[in-house]
Amino acid sequence: MTVETFDKELVRERISLAELYEKEVGPLRRAGANREGLCPFHDERTASFNVRGPDFAEGRCFGCGWTGDIFDFWGAIRGVEFIAALAQLAGLTGVTPRVSGVDFSQVRPKRKRPEKSLEWVRPAMPDLSRPSPDELQMLADSRGLQVQGLELAVAAGRLFVCDWPQFKRRGEWVRLEDSEADYCAPVSRSWVVTDEAGWVAQYRRLDGAAYDTFQDGEPRKGRKSWSTKGVGWPLGAADMGGSGKVLLLEGGADMLAAYHFFWGLGISDVAVCCILGASNSIGDPALKFFESKRVKVVMDADLARLNERTGVAKSPGMEAAAKWQAQLTKAGAAVAVFSLEGLETARGVPVKDLNDLALASRETIASDEVWGLFFDWDF
């Protein structure tokens, strides 16, 4: 299923040429009803670049003759064609792409009872411990991350290890591999993401393999993770501290990748939260923690899936980003959406999530687009 396009008129509404010029070049000064500055497309000492129109949407240089709008300007500055300019400006302004058969203007929540904080029940968790140096190295190797970044996650109280799967029955933890149940799941050393609030957790094997499961002695399809269910708690929402900047991600692996980038880029003033599952909405009790924050939702670039029964294509990453953006905006946060669409790993494989981005080349990581993800909070 192909992505149709981005809504260019919505992009125009969210940023003017004057704002884009000042973001990329420098300040403009008043010139009657217009604005003027030095032209970025030729050398000059006297300002001849003029931005005009009711919304400062058009520009013209009286020196070199350049004319255009925000897309022409961005394309000329960055050396890209219109389609790429549109996609990059959409990412800069938080406009999500449209896919055939998908309407993001109206995100319909699932029918269910309204969430109430009193209905939330903290899941039982086994004894969690800090990862050993060898366990951190194993996890780093399996995910393509730096150990130092994982150490930041440990220090933040987000990363632990345990034996999994286990289940609490009648007050005791039971390993299914030791039980007489028809369903069997051998225990593996696993990494766990959770937070101090303890509403949610996600478990994955340290070696990166899927969990083996058996039914009546026959192997079944393995599962790559186990997650707690039932509440829409963004992991880390209550312990963001005083940071006014927040990366909101989907899944524990992406949260670890965020700490990987924080260490590598020397970032210490950005908080990270993750929601365990794109289908989850943000629970009402968690929304208050995002008020007055600047939140950048990193949208997974997964492929749209066609429902053969309804004929409607859905892209979980896009739908989740639109849903969370609407919720957070209503809660009083400033929200932008960053799309990973079009990025590739060092092996030329499309980047689907932030963990994939950690496998990109140095040139990609140093690009203006990726740099803006972590350092551009002017929205």
Residue range 97-149, pLDDT digits in tens: 765 454 444 444 444 444 444 457 788 888 999 999 999 999 999 999 999 99
CA angle (194, 195, 198) in 5-degree steps: 85
Return the CATH number at 23: 3.90.580.10
Identify whether residues 106 and 202 lie together within a single domain.
no
Q: Which of 181, 205, 227 is the last residue of a domain?
A: 227
Contact 340, 347 (CB under 8 A): no
| Residue 245: per-residue pLDDT | 96
Question: 232-261 burial, b for 16+ CB within 10 Å, e for fewer?
Answer: bbbbbbbebeeebbbbbbbbbbbbbbbbbb
Residue 128 lies inside a defined structural domain of this protein: no
SS (H, E, C) 84-129: HHHHHHHHHHCCCCEECCCCCCCCCCCCCCCCCHHHCCCCCCCCCE
Q: Is the pTM of this model over 0.75?
A: no
CA atoms within 13 A on the CB side of 196: 8
Q: Span 232-241, mean pLDDT?
A: 90
pLDDT above 80: residue 362 = yes
The domain that holds 355 is classified in CATH as: 3.40.50
- pLDDT, tens digit, 9 for 90 and up, residues 243-300: 899 999 999 999 999 999 999 999 999 999 999 988 889 999 999 999 999 999 998 8
Domain that holds residue 242: 99-120+232-375
| Predicted confidence band of residue 81 (pLDDT cuts 50, 70, 90) | confident
pLDDT exceeds cutoff 80 at 188: yes
Distances (CA, A) of 1 to 39, 172, 305, 309: 41, 48, 7, 16
Q: How many domains does the chain have?
A: 3
pLDDT at 304: 57
pLDDT (mean) for 291-320: 75
Q: Report the DSSP beta bridge partners of residue 3.
A: 99
Torsion angle in degrees (nearest 10) through CA of 236, 242, 247, 250: 10
| Res. 176: pLDDT tops 80 | no
